Structures are given as C-alpha cells and as structure tokens.
Amino acid sequence: MIEQYIAKAANSAMSIAPKMVKLPLAIVPFSVKAEVISRLLKQLFAEQAEDEECDFLNNKWVAVNIADLQLAFEVSYQHHKWLVRQHQFAQVTFTANSAELILIAAAKEDPDTLFFQRKLTIEGDTELGLEVKNLLLSVEFDKLPNMIKFSVSKLAESLMLLQQKAVVC
C-alpha cells in the first residue's frame, strides 16, 4: 500500500518539476537563453571544437525541442563560434522531454535506446543527426566543469530514483 503512495508521489514530482521550470523560463528573454546555451555549448564541446570535430555544423542548423518545457532553439557552429537562434529552419530536429535529455547528458541513458522507445525523436537529415549524436557521445562527462557535472549528475540520479519509484504505480 505504501509503495503505491510513493509511486504516486514520484509520478507527481516528475510531472510537476517541468511545469515549475517552464513558467520562469518563459519569462526569460530569448537573447539571455541563447547566451547561456551558447556558453554551455562552448564549455561542453571545447575539446571537440579544438580538434575541429564541430566543423561539420558549418552552415547547418540543428533544432532542439524540449517538449515539456516548451523550449525550442537551433544551434550551429560557424567560424569557431556557437550560434543559437530561435526556431526557424533546421536540417535536423531533436525532440525530447527534459528528463530524457538530462539522462543523456549524464551518460545514464543512450540516445539510441530512447529513440527506439520513442522518447527521443529525430526528424530531418538523418546523416546530420547521426553526426550530432556522435558528437554528443564524444563528450567525456568526467572532463566537464565541476559545476555542470555535479548539477547534471544529481538531477539524473534524482530522476532515476523517481522513475524507479514510479514503476509501482
């Protein structure tokens, strides 16, 4: 009986958390979001950029749609700089909920698994999508700045715990 209450609470927490983030995120101007995203990409892919592994994105745009946060943007890497813009036209679009993206970022879930479970969709240029996926997988989680690594790791651990508890329901 207690397991059902715990499962219900876990399900509620997983559905409420994105809603709590979505409202304040909607108030933030896109220019601020774009700057934060650009800086994060610069940190995440510093090693890959130095090795020219990001150059395949020159004049190509990748859309990211975080469905439960209603946050959509496009990124490109041009002239050794990450560019972020509002959704216009991208060659490939990745769509998932925030929980799945956090698990991918923490290397706790494989993008292919989520794709086949239909929790991650990839639409458009599949070859570009595979290149982007390989770029993401080349990021060594342990080499990320401590603040990012700690935050993503704790979020992922919390999500996994909630998902385990929610299974009972």
- CATH number, domain with residue 96: 3.30.1050.10
So what's the pLDDT on residue 9? 60
Burial label for 86, CB within 10 Å (0-12, 13-18, 19+), is exposed
Is 81 within 8 Å of 54 (Cβ atoms)? no
So what's the pLDDT on residue 12? 58
So what's the pLDDT on residue 77? 97
| Count of domains observed in the chain | 1
So what's the pLDDT on residue 36? 93
| Segment 16-28 mean pLDDT | 80
Model confidence pLDDT, tens digit, residues 48-103: 999 999 999 999 999 999 999 999 999 999 999 999 999 889 999 999 999 898 88
Confidence of residue 33 (pLDDT cuts 50, 70, 90): very high
- State the pTM of this model: 0.84
Range of 137's domain? 2-166
